Amino acid sequence: MDSFFLQQLFNGITLGAVYGLIAIGYTMVYGIIGMINFAHGEVYMISAYLCAIALALLSFFGLHSFPLLILGTLVFTIVVTGVYGWAIERIAYKPLRNSTRLAPLISAIGMSLILQNYAQISQGPRQQGIPTMMDGALRFHIGESFVQMTYTKLFILAASLVGMLVLSWIISNTRLGRMCRAVQQDRKMASILGINTDRIISLVFMIGAAMAGLAGVLVTMNYGTFDFYAGFIIGIKAFTAAVLGGIGSLPGAMLGGLILGIAEAQFSGMVNSDYKDVFSFGLLVVILIFRPQGLLGRPVVTKV
C-alpha cells in the first residue's frame, strides 16, 4: 500500500480524534435540549489560551517534568473550560429555556461573538504559541519511503481514546449517566421522577466544554499556534462531524469525527489542501440533503 496514503490516513485519524472530542459537546447538548450550542467552538479557542497560561504558570513555579506539566495543564484547562460551559448555559440558555427555539440560538451566537472579542481584547489579536513539548517520531519503512508517526500525534490519539472511553463509561454505567439519558429521553417525566433537570443540563454543558478543553490542549501541543479566531472553523467542522455521525449520538460523534478527519486528510494530500475547508462544508451540505439523521442517528418521529 502506498506510504503516502498511509501517512495521510494516520494524520486523518489524529485529526478525526480531535474533531470527535469537540463534536461530543455538540451532540450531548443537542441530545438533552434539542439545540445547537454555537458558542462551543469558542470554548475550544479559550482552552488553547488556557493551555498556554497553564504551561507558563507551571514553568514559572519550577515544574519542568513533562508528565506533571501536561497533567497539570490538562486538569487546569478542563476544569476552567467546564466552568465556561456552565456559565454559557446559565447566561445564554437557561433564561430562554421556555422561549421560542430561535431565541437560544441567537443568544448562543451572541455568546460566541462575546468570547471571541473577550479573547481578542484580553490576549491581543496576534497569533500566539507555545514551544514544542514532545520531540521525535516513530518511522516505519515501506519500500523506499516511510510513514512517520510523531510522539505528539501518538499522544493525541492515546489521550483522545482515553477521554472518549471514560466519557462512554460514565454515560453507560454511572448514576449521572442514567440521569442524563433519562433527561434526554423525556425531560418532563425525568423531572416528575425527582431528577433535577436544570442541574443535569448544566452538567452536560460542563462535560461537553471539558471535552473541548481536552481537544484544545491536544491541538495546541500539536500545532503550537492559536489566535482568537481559532474556534470558528474547527467548531463548524466538529459540528459537521456530529451531523455526519448522527446528532445526539455519542458513538456517532466519535465515528463522524474519524470519518471527516480521514476524508479531509486524504483530500488535502491527493487533491488540494487549499480547498479542504470547502470539502468539509460541502460534505455537510450533502449529509443534510441525503441523510439528515446521520450514520447512527434515528429519524425524528413526530407524535400526533
Please, are residues 263 and 12 in contact by the beta-carbon 8 Å criterion? Answer: yes
Tell me whether residue 79 is in a domain: yes
Domain that holds residue 100: 3-290
Q: Where are the beta strands (DSSP E) in the chain?
A: 128-129, 137-142, 145-150, 225-226
For CA atoms 214, 255, 187, 115, the dihedral sign is positive
Residue 106 is which amino acid? I
Tell me whether residue 164 is in a domain: yes
Q: What is the CATH number of the domain that holds 226?
A: 1.10.3470
- Cα separation, 13 vs 260, whole angstroms: 9
Provide the pLDDT for residue 304.
Answer: 43
Triad 172, 175, 181: Cα angle to 5°: 55
Please, are residues 39 and 108 in contact by the beta-carbon 8 Å criterion? Answer: yes
- Cα separation, 276 vs 273, whole angstroms: 5
Contacts of 277 (CB under 8 A, 6+ apart): 233, 237
Triad 228, 242, 50: Cα angle to 5°: 30
Q: How many domains does the chain have?
A: 1
**Buried-exposed string 197-216: b where 16+ CB fall within 10 A, e elsewhere:** beebbbbbbbbbbbbbbbbb
Tell me whether residue 295 is in a domain: no
Tell me whether residue 301 is in a domain: no
For CA atoms 292, 233, 275, 3, the dihedral sign is negative
Instruction: Give pLDDT tens digits for 33-48.
Output: 888 888 899 999 999 9
Tell me whether residue 94 is in a domain: yes
Per-residue pLDDT of the chain (304 residues; tens, 9 = 90+): 577 888 888 889 999 999 999 999 899 888 888 888 888 999 999 999 999 999 989 888 888 788 888 899 999 999 999 999 999 999 888 888 878 878 888 898 899 999 999 999 998 888 888 887 788 888 877 777 778 888 888 999 999 999 999 998 998 889 988 998 898 888 888 888 888 988 999 999 999 999 999 999 999 988 888 888 888 888 889 988 998 888 888 888 899 999 999 999 888 888 888 888 888 888 888 888 888 888 887 665 544 4
Tell me whether residue 300 is in a domain: no
Tell me whether residue 304 is in a domain: no
Instruction: Give pLDDT tens digits for 63-100.
Output: 878 888 889 999 999 999 999 999 999 988 888 887 88
